[in-house]
């Protein structure tokens, strides 16, 4: 038996000005052939579970591609066709395909990157059993559902169950191949464009919806039940919340469980809308919290959802109000890192930090912040994740440095990396738990590595293309009407 195992992932923020080409995939990681197994077999990634299943079956493993890029703008046509071509070429003579996809990949020429890939596979190999894992931020489409045998999404945000869901869906498809069960799927998506900042699975309303999915799976006829928060910043027709239920041949059961989850999601639609707080007031409130560590979230500039990690609005306000003992993870500015390398450790430098990117989609001109500090640390930015998300995966933040202003230590990196693991700090010699304020360019994923640390968390509404202020975004492609862009009362 030959089993194809592949990963092709990108969460596309169509408001980002950053072009996602093949080089950007290579920056985060692009592997082929034997390197795929070597790189991922001992990690917590879906692909590791697929490798385990294939080995148990004694199958030959075919690994044309395993790649992922940090979220950013549309994937170039060239990169998309190259990656999709590697997978479809390899699928010509395999018996099963186990795929690790995201579900919110938009390319220059296709809205539905995953559905397009799956449709091509299905057209070429109508009987090929295909298992698919998708991110909780997947924008599910008819093409994805129509062109695979079974699909499943993560039940956690932060995503700490990637391995488990891959093992679940992989075993469903293997059992189907062995004639032990017959997967059927029912899916749906109400007119609900929920905001990412309101999708944490430890918070309501996702907590209840995920509990409903887990309850559904207690019925042995329900093989997999998934609720997708969706990714509103990929402006494509199917963006938004959805659910899909896989049962063993029982379509009525799949539909009933789907309806129950989606009715609850719609009933609680208001809870998926983020309630803002003026930045000055929020920072002022944080300043009164002296029992740290207090988590400060610069959520509008979170590169883990496609922002550019170099907007200085929040950092400037925290400096202006003079909060003391702040560590910042992290600002993307390769030019500043080079300047700090030239200055050398221990020397004082004045920098125009960040603000290198114009963001036409939100009418923002890049505005660097002039800042003086001491170069405290210089590193190559390489470390391995030891926390619960992406466990075992090698990270490369590029040449990195720490600028110490006396009140604030800022980690500056050369490649985008969302701070979901403490390695962002510990790799540059900072122990975050020993500081009063931890300012992160993150939204929810920080909870994976830092969740047990803060005495309080304050979300700070700055600028950037992961803003939770819908009035700053011009949606052109998502189906309308949709809540909350349109204040409708029918799903």
The footprint of Zn ion (CB under 5 A) covers 135, 137
Shortest Cβ distance from residue 16 to Zn ion (Å)? Answer: 15
Question: What length does the chain have?
Answer: 491
Q: Which two tokens stand for residue 200?
A: 């944490």
Q: Which two tokens stand for residue 467?
A: 């803003």
Shortest Cβ distance from residue 71 to Zn ion (Å)? Answer: 9
Considering the complex, state which of residue 68 and residue 135 has its C-beta at the smaller distance from Zn ion: 135
Shortest Cβ distance from residue 286 to Zn ion (Å)? Answer: 27
Considering the complex, state which of residue 10 and residue 137 has its C-beta at the smaller distance from Zn ion: 137
Shortest Cβ distance from residue 261 to Zn ion (Å)? Answer: 19
Considering the complex, state which of residue 103 and residue 190 has its C-beta at the smaller distance from Zn ion: 103
Considering the complex, state which of residue 135 and residue 421 has its C-beta at the smaller distance from Zn ion: 135
Which H helix or E strand runs over 167?
A: helix 162-177
- Identify the residue whose tokens are 């498809």: 173
Q: Please, are residues 311 and 472 in contact by the beta-carbon 8 Å criterion?
A: no
Q: Which two tokens stand for residue 314?
A: 């929040």
Considering the complex, state which of residue 136 and residue 411 has its C-beta at the smaller distance from Zn ion: 136
Considering the complex, state which of residue 135 and residue 161 has its C-beta at the smaller distance from Zn ion: 135
Considering the complex, state which of residue 376 and residue 445 has its C-beta at the smaller distance from Zn ion: 445
Taking the C-alpha atoms of residue 52 and residue 42, their distance in angstroms, rounded to an integer, is 10
Q: Which two tokens stand for residue 242?
A: 């959805």
Considering the complex, state which of residue 187 and residue 420 has its C-beta at the smaller distance from Zn ion: 420
Q: How would you label 53-91 residue by residue, b for 16+ Cβ within 10 Å and e otherwise? A: bbeebebebbbbbbbbbbbbbbbbeebbeebbebbbebb
Which H helix or E strand runs over 64?
A: none
Shortest Cβ distance from residue 231 to Zn ion (Å)? Answer: 7
Shortest Cβ distance from residue 446 to Zn ion (Å)? Answer: 13
* CB-nearest residue to Zn ion: 137
Q: Is 363 left (phi over 0), alpha (psi -120 to 50) or beta?
A: left
Shortest Cβ distance from residue 136 to Zn ion (Å)? Answer: 5
3-state helix, strand, coil split of the chain in percent (to 5) is: 35, 25, 45
Q: How would you label 94-113 residue by residue, b for 16+ Cβ within 10 Å and e otherwise? A: bebbbbbbbbbbbbeebbbb
Shortest Cβ distance from residue 200 to Zn ion (Å)? Answer: 11
Instruction: Give the CA dihedral 121, 127, 128, 129, nearest 10 degrees.
Output: 120
Q: Which two tokens stand for residue 185?
A: 């799927």
196 Cβ partners below 8 Å, 6+ apart? Answer: 137, 229, 231, 232, 233, 305, 443, 444, 466, 468
């Amino acid at each position: 038996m030959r089993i194809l195992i592949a990963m092709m992932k990108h969460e596309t923020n169509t408001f980002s000005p950053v072009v996602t080409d093949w080089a950007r995939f290579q920056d985060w990681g692009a592997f082929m052939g034997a390197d795929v197994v070597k790189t991922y077999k001992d990690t917590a990634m879906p692909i590791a579970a697929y490798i385990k299943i294939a080995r148990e079956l004694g199958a030959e493993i075919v690994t044309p591609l395993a790649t992922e890029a940090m979220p950013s703008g549309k994937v170039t046509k060239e990169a998309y066709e190259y990656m999709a071509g590697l997978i479809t070429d390899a699928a010509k003579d395999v018996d099963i395909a186990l795929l690790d996809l995201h579900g919110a990949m938009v390319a220059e020429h296709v809205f539905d990157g995953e559905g397009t890939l799956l449709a091509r596979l299905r057209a070429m190999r109508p009987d090929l059993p295909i298992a698919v894992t998708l991110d909780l931020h997947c924008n599910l489409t008819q093409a994805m559902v129509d062109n695979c045998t079974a699909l499943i999404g993560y039940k956690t945000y932060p995503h700490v169950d990637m391995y488990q869901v891959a093992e679940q869906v992989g075993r469903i498809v293997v059992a189907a191949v062995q004639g032990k069960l017959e997967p059927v799927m029912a899916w749906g998506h109400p007119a609900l464009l929920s905001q990412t900042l309101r999708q944490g699975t430890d918070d309501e309303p996702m907590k209840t919806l995920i509990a409903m999915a887990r309850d559904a799976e207690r019925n042995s006829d329900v093989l997999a039940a998934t609720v997708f928060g969706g990714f509103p910043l990929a402006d494509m027709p199917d963006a938004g919340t959805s659910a899909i239920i896989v049962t063993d041949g029982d379509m009525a059961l799949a539909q009933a469980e789907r309806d129950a989850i989606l009715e609850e999601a719609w009933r609680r639609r208001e809870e998926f809308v983020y309630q803002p707080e003026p930045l000055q007031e929020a920072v002022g409130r944080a300043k009164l919290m002296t029992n740290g560590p207090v988590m400060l979230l610069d959520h509008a500039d979170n590169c883990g959802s496609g922002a550019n990690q170099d907007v200085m609005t929040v950092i400037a306000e925290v400096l202006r109000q003079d909060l003391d003992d702040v560590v910042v993870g992290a600002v993307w500015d390769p030019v500043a890192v080079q300047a700090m390398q030239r200055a050398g450790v221990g020397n004082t430098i004045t920098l125009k930090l960040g603000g290198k990117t114009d963001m036409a989609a939100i009418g923002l001109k890049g505005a660097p912040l002039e800042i003086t500090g001491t170069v405290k640390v210089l590193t190559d930015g390489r470390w391995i994740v030891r926390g619960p998300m992406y466990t075992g995966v090698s990270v490369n933040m590029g040449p990195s440095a720490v600028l110490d202003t006396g009140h604030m230590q800022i980690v500056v990196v050369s490649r985008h990396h969302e701070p979901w693991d403490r390695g962002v700090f510990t790799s540059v010699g900072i122990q975050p738990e020993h500081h009063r304020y931890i300012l992160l360019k993150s939204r929810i994923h920080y909870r994976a590595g830092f969740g047990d640390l803060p005495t309080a968390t304050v979300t700070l509404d700055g600028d950037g293309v992961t803003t939770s202020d819908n009035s700053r975004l011009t949606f052109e492609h998502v189906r309308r009407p949709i809540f909350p862009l349109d204040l409708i009362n029918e799903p």
